[in-house]
Amino acid sequence: MTKTLLDITSPPDLKSHSEGTGSVRKQHPVYSDFLPPCNNACPAGENIQAWLALAQAGKFEAAWQVLMADNPMPAVCGRVCYHPCEDQCNRGHIDSTVSIHAVERLLGDEALKNGWKIERAAAPTGKRVLVVGAGPSGLSVAYHLARMGHFTEIREAGPLPGGMMHFGIPAYRLPRKELELEVERIKEMGVSIIFNHKVTDVLKEQEEGNFDAVFVAIGTQLSKKIEIPGRDAGKILDAVSFLKQVEEGNAPRLGRRVAIYGGGNTAMDAARTAKRLGVPEAMIIYRRDREHMPAHDFEAQEALDEGVKINWLRTIKEMDGGSFTVEVMELVDGKPVPTGKFETLEADNLILALGQDADTDFLKNIQGIEFKPDGTVIVGQDMMTGRPGIFAGGDMVPGDRSVTVAIGHGKKAARYINGFLCETPYQPSAKHTIVSYERLHRWYTTHAPQTEQSELPTSERIGNFDEVKAGLSEEEALFEAQRCLSCGNCFECDGCFGACPQDAVIKLGAGKRYNFNYDQCTGCAVCYEQCPCHAIEMVQEA
C-alpha cells in the first residue's frame, strides 16, 4: 500500500475576523521559534529537528554534520539509545512517532561507509585535559574538547575503548565494528588514548602530565551484592562480569539451566546472552511485575520471544546448591510485599543483575570532593566536583544512567571545562518554550505510519550474536524524516504567504523565512491560525 504524507481535507479558514481588523489594529503577528519536545527530551542535547530537516531534503551528510555537533557516536546511539525523544514526539498524537533513532543510525552508518570527515572548529589552544575512563562520557568530552582546540588524553584501565558499551552491551545490540570505527574517528582528531592504565592518584597524574583540567568518567563496573542464605552452596556470577567474560571469549560454563536475578536491561541481556551460549533454560526472577520493571518493555518482549522465561513477583529467600526457594510477592501501591507463599526453582547457576556501583574510593583522598551514600560523586551544574579543575560525569555521578546520558554529560562538561580553561565561564543559552501538540494548527490530515525496522527471525538469533535489528534504507530514512512536523519552527511551507488576505507577508528567500509588512497587516490572525507548526504568535498592540 502506498504511503501518503499529506492529505489536505480542508483549506485554512481565510475569513476576516471581527476582532483586530479595520483601521485600528489590536494585535499583530510575529515569527517565533519554539523548542520541539524531541529536542528537549534528548539526553545528548541534539538539535534533532535541524538534522531531520536536512535529512528530509536528502542532504544526509549535512544532517550528519549537524548531528555531530552534539553527538560523536550516532551509529552507536542509533542502536542503543532508548530514544526518550520519541516518547515526547508530537506525531504520536496523530499516528505514530517519528523513528528518530533509526534515521540517526542511518546517518551514522552512511558516515562510516562513505568516510565523511568532521568539520573541526578551532585551532590548537595549548591547553591539556586528562580524561579518566574511555567509556561514552570520556569519549564524548574528549571529542568536544578536541573540536574546541584542546589537547585531550584518555587513560583507560582496560585494554579497549568503549567501557560498558564494549563489555556490557552484547554484540547483537551493538556490533563492535561500528563502535570501533566511531572511536577511531575520535582518535583521528588528535585524542590520545592510553590503555591498561588504571589511574589511582589523580592529582599526581595531573601534575606529572601538566594537565590544566581533569574529567573523571570511570562508569559503574562493580555489581551490587545481596545476601542470600546458603549462597555459598551454589555457583553465583554477577551480570557485569559474566557479560565481560563472554565478550573476552572466556564464557563460563552455565549448565542446562541458569537463573538471572533482577529486572533491568542488564538482566535481559544476561538471559539472552545465556541462550546464545546454548543454555536450554534461562529464567529471570524479579520481585515486581512487568509493568513496574526497570527494563524497557521491548527488552523483556525480545527476551520472551527468544525463549527466556520470566518469573514475575518472585524473590529469592535462600538457596541450596541448585535449588532456590523463592517467595511469591504481591504489589501494594506499586511496592512488592511478601505473601508467605513459597516455591522451589532449580538452576545450575545464578547470575545477579541487581545494578552497579562506581568504584570511587581513589577520589576520597582529594580535598573538596564529596560523595553520595552510594559512592557517586557530587558535581555542580557545571559538572565540576568540589575540587577546582576536576570534573566528573557519566554513571559515576547521580542521575539517570544510559549511553546517551553519558554522552550528554561529556558534551556539557566540555563546554564548562572550556570556560574554565579560557577563564570565561560558560553560560548556557535560555531555552525556548516547548511547543506541545495542542499548540499546533494542523489544518491537514496525515496518513504516514512509522517505518518499522526489520528484525532477524527469532529462529536465527540463538547460537550467534548477529545484530537483531536492521537499519533503514536511504529511501525509508528519507520518508521517516519527512514525517517530522517541524514543531515550533518555520519550515517555509508558504502557508502564511498564501493565506494572508492583505499580502502583508514578505518572502525573504530560501532559508531566510518571512517578514511582515505591518503597514498592510490588519492583525486578522489568519497567518497564525493556519501555521501548522505554531511558528507565529499574535502579540497585543501596546
Q: What is the pLDDT of residues 345-371, one digit of tens each?
A: 999 999 999 988 888 999 999 999 999
| Cβ atoms of 27 and 523 closer than 8 Å | yes
Model confidence band, residue 23 (pLDDT cutoffs 50, 70, 90): low
What DSSP designation does 354 have? S
Q: What is the pLDDT of residues 51-99, one digit of tens each?
A: 999 999 999 999 999 999 999 999 999 999 999 999 999 999 999 999 9
121 burial via Cβ count (<10 Å: 0-12, 13-18, 19+) = exposed
Exposure string over 83-112, b if 16+ CB within 10 A, otherwise e: bbbbebbbbeebeebbbbbbbbbbbbbbbb
All structural domains of the chain, each given as residue ranges with its CATH number in brackets, are 4-33+490-540 (3.30.70.20), 38-118+446-482 (1.10.1060.10), 128-221+358-422 (3.50.50.60), 228-354 (3.50.50.60)
Helix (H, G, I), strand (E, B) or coil at 15: coil
Strand partners, 447: 4
Q: What's the pLDDT at 232? A: 60
Model confidence band, residue 6 (pLDDT cutoffs 50, 70, 90): very low
Q: Which helix (H) or strand (E) covers residue 344, if one does?
A: strand 335-346
| 68 residue type, one letter | M
What Cα–Cα distance (Å) separates residue 276 from each residue in 171, 176, 246, 458, 466? Answer: 11, 17, 10, 11, 10
| Pure H helices in 42-197 | 48-56, 60-68, 74-80, 84-87, 100-114, 136-147, 164-167, 176-188
Q: Is the pLDDT of residue 17 over 80?
A: no
Positive or negative CA dihedral for 455, 457, 460, 461? Answer: positive
Q: Which residues contact 90 (CB under 8 A, 6 or more apart)?
A: 36, 37, 435, 436, 437, 440, 485, 487
Q: What is the pLDDT of residues 165-192, one digit of tens each?
A: 999 999 999 999 999 999 999 999 999 9
Range picked from 143-147, 164-168, 394-398, 459-463 for highest mean pLDDT: 143-147
pLDDT-above-90 percentage for the chain: 83
What DSSP designation does 164 have? H
Q: Is the pLDDT of residue 2 over 50?
A: no
What Cα–Cα distance (Å) separates residue 451 from each residue in 36, 75, 95, 101, 330? Answer: 21, 18, 12, 12, 39
Q: Is the pLDDT of residue 8 over 50?
A: no
What Cα–Cα distance (Å) separates residue 282 from each residue in 158, 330, 335? Answer: 30, 23, 26
Q: Which three cell numbers stand for residue 211?
A: 594537565
- Cα–Cα distance measured from residue 126 to residue 149, given in angstroms and rounded to the nearest whole number: 8
75 burial via Cβ count (<10 Å: 0-12, 13-18, 19+) = buried
Q: Which helix (H) or strand (E) covers residue 31, if one does?
A: strand 27-31
- Cα–Cα distance measured from residue 59 to residue 73, given in angstroms and rounded to the nearest whole number: 19
CA atoms within 13 A on the CB side of 496: 31
Range picked from 4-13, 17-26, 271-280 for highest mean pLDDT: 271-280
What DSSP designation does 394 have? G
Q: Which helix (H) or strand (E) covers residue 410, if one does?
A: helix 403-422
List the single range of 2-11, 84-93, 425-434, 478-487 with lowest mean pLDDT. 2-11
The residue with cell 525496522 is: 453
Q: Is the pLDDT of residue 399 over 90?
A: no
Q: What's the pLDDT at 225? A: 81
